Amino acid sequence: MKEDASQSQTLGNCYFIAGLVAFAEDRDRLDKVFVIKEANNAGIYAFNLYLRGKPIIVTIDDRIAFKQGATSTQTVPLFADIGVDGALWAPLLEKAWAKLNGNYERTAAGWQHEALRVVSGAPSYDYLTSKYEADEIWELLDEADRKNYIMGAGTAGTGDHALKNSVGLSQSHAYSVIGAYALKDGRGNIVEKLLLLRNPWGFETYSGPYSDNDSRWTQGANLQYPADFRTQVPYENKDQGVFFIDMDTFKASFLYFLVQYHRADWVVNYYEVLEDDGRLHKFFFDVGYTQDMHVAADTYDPRMYPYGCKDQKVMAQMLVRKVGSTEKIAEKYFSDWIGFGHVFIEDVPPGKYEIYVQYAWPADQPTVNDFTIRVYAPETFPIKDTSGAESRNTSHDFDLWDEVLREREEEKSLEDVSAQMISELKAVVENPALKGDYTYVDEGWYNEITGPVVVTNQITSAKETHNSRSLYIYSESQGTYDLSLQIAVKTKDMPKI
C-alpha cells in the first residue's frame, strides 16, 4: 500500500497523507473505512469515518481535480496522486477530509493525529523525542510495530519544506513510520536499531546513515558481522520515498513521534452532547470484566471552522472514577486546540463508573458547543447520562459490504438459472415433444413456480392469474422472453428444470 498514496506539491497536507499511508499498512483496516469499494455508475463513494469521536458515514462523488502535467497532453491529479496500480483510495479519502473541513484549502498543514482521528476511533498520542533516549524511542516504536499500531513522526521547522537538515530531511514535514528493525551480528547480538520511514512525497531526500547506498549496509568484512545487513530487513533500492534511519539520527532530526493505539477487536462507545450550556456533566458506564480502555472527550477540529471564526481555545476538564468512591482513577485538563483530550486507563475492574466533563465555552466567540464522550475499549456498553438516556447507536456496520457481495453472488446465480431456463424454453419451442412441465398458452411457453401471481400475457396483453411466484415466458412469435418477476424467488428455492 506504500506506493498507493503520494502528496502533491499543490497542497501542504503531508500530515494527512503520511497518516493515511501508515493506517493503510494493514489492508483490513483500510477496507473497513470504505463502505463502497468499487467504481460504480452512480459515481458515489461512502466512507466509515469519525467526527467528534462519533461514527459517521461520509459520501462524496468520484470527481477528482486534475491539472496539466509535464506536457500539453498530460494531465495529473491536482492533489493526492493516484497509485501506481491505479488505486484511488488516497485522493478519495483526501476529498472526504476536505468535505468535512469545507474545502481543500482548509486541510493544509496539520498533525497526523488529525487524519488518524477521522479514519479510526482509536486514540493517538504524540511523544516529544527530546524527552526520550534513542533506545527508549526504538523500544516504544518496536512494541507498537509488533502490536500493529499506527505510527508516524514529524520534523521541527518554520513551515518551509524546502529547508532540509544535514541528512536531507525536510523541515516541518510529516513521515509515516512503517516498521522497527534490529540488525544483528553473526552471534545474534544487536548492533544497530533502525526505523523504516516513508516520505509522503513518494520520493527520497534522506542521505544519512543507512540510506540506500550507504556503505554501512555491507560493512561486515569479518566474522563478527554478516556480509550484508540488507538481508535482515525489507531493503529496496527504489526512489519511492521509503528509507531506513538509525535511532541517533532519528532523535536528532525529529521533533515528535506518534502512536495510534488502534486494535481491530476494540469498539467505540460514545455519548453525544449537542448545544452544551457549559454545565458540569456526569455520565455512567458499566464494565463487565477487567480491561484496559481509553476515555476521551471530543469536539470539532478547530480547522473545521471558517477562517476568522475560531481564534480562542476552549478549555475543558474530565475526571473518571468508580461510582461510590471519591478516588479518581483518571483526570485530564485540556483544550480543544487539537479537538480532543483523552486518558489511558489500565486494568479497569468490573463495576459501575462515572465520567465528569465540563467545557468552558467562550461567550464572545461563536463556537459550536457540541462534544462527544468516547470510551475505546474491548467491551461494548452504553454510556448514559443522569436521566438514564443514551445516544442512539450509529456504530459502523463493517459487514455491510460483505452483505452486498453476497447479494451479488445470489443475483449472479439467479442469472445463471435464468439462462438455463431460457435455453430450456428455446429447446421446447424448437421441439414441442420436449414440452414436459411447460404449458403452452397463446403461442408462449410458460414455466410456473408455486405461489399465485397476476401477470400480463405477453401476446394478448390480458391480465392473467397464475399459481406462480415467478413466471418465465418464451414467446415463439415475438422471439422475446420476460423475466421481470424473477426477483421474487431466491436461487436456492428454484426448482430443477
d(CA 98, CA 421): 50
> Which regions of the chain are under pLDDT 50?
1, 7, 221, 223, 435, 438, 440-453, 466-497
Largest CA distance in the chain: 94
- Domain range 2-260, CATH architecture: Alpha-Beta Complex (3.90)
Q: Residue 432: count other Cβ atoms within 10 Å of its Cβ.
A: 11
- pLDDT reported for residue 375: 95
Class of domain 267-377: mainly beta
pLDDT in tens, 326-365: 999 999 998 877 667 889 999 999 999 999 999 999 887 7
For residue 61, the cross-strand partners are 44
Give 489's DSSP letter. S
Rounded to 10 degrees, the C-alpha dihedral 148/230/228/216 comes to: -100
Instruction: Label residue 107 exposed, middle or buried (CB < 10 Å: 0-12, 13-18, 19+).
Output: buried
- pLDDT reported for residue 321: 96
Give the long-range contacts of residues 264-268, CB within 8 A, separation 24 or more: 264/28, 264/29, 264/148, 265/378, 266/122, 266/376, 266/377, 266/378, 267/121, 267/376, 267/377, 267/378, 267/379, 267/380, 267/395, 268/50, 268/53, 268/55, 268/121, 268/374, 268/375, 268/376, 268/395
Burial 153-185 (b: 16+ CB within 10 A, else e): bbbebeeebeebbebebbbbbbbbbbbbbebeb
Cell reading at 464: 392473467
Q: Any residues with CB less than 8 A from the CB of 26 and at least 6 apart, and which?
A: 148
- pLDDT reported for residue 449: 41
Sign for the pseudo-dihedral over CA of 103, 105, 106, 108: positive
Provide the residue ranges of all domains of the chain, joining segments of one domain with +.
Answer: 2-260, 267-377, 403-493
The DSSP line for 306-360 is PTTS--SPPEEEEEEEETT---EEEEEEEEGGGSEEEEEEEEEPSEEEEEEEEEE
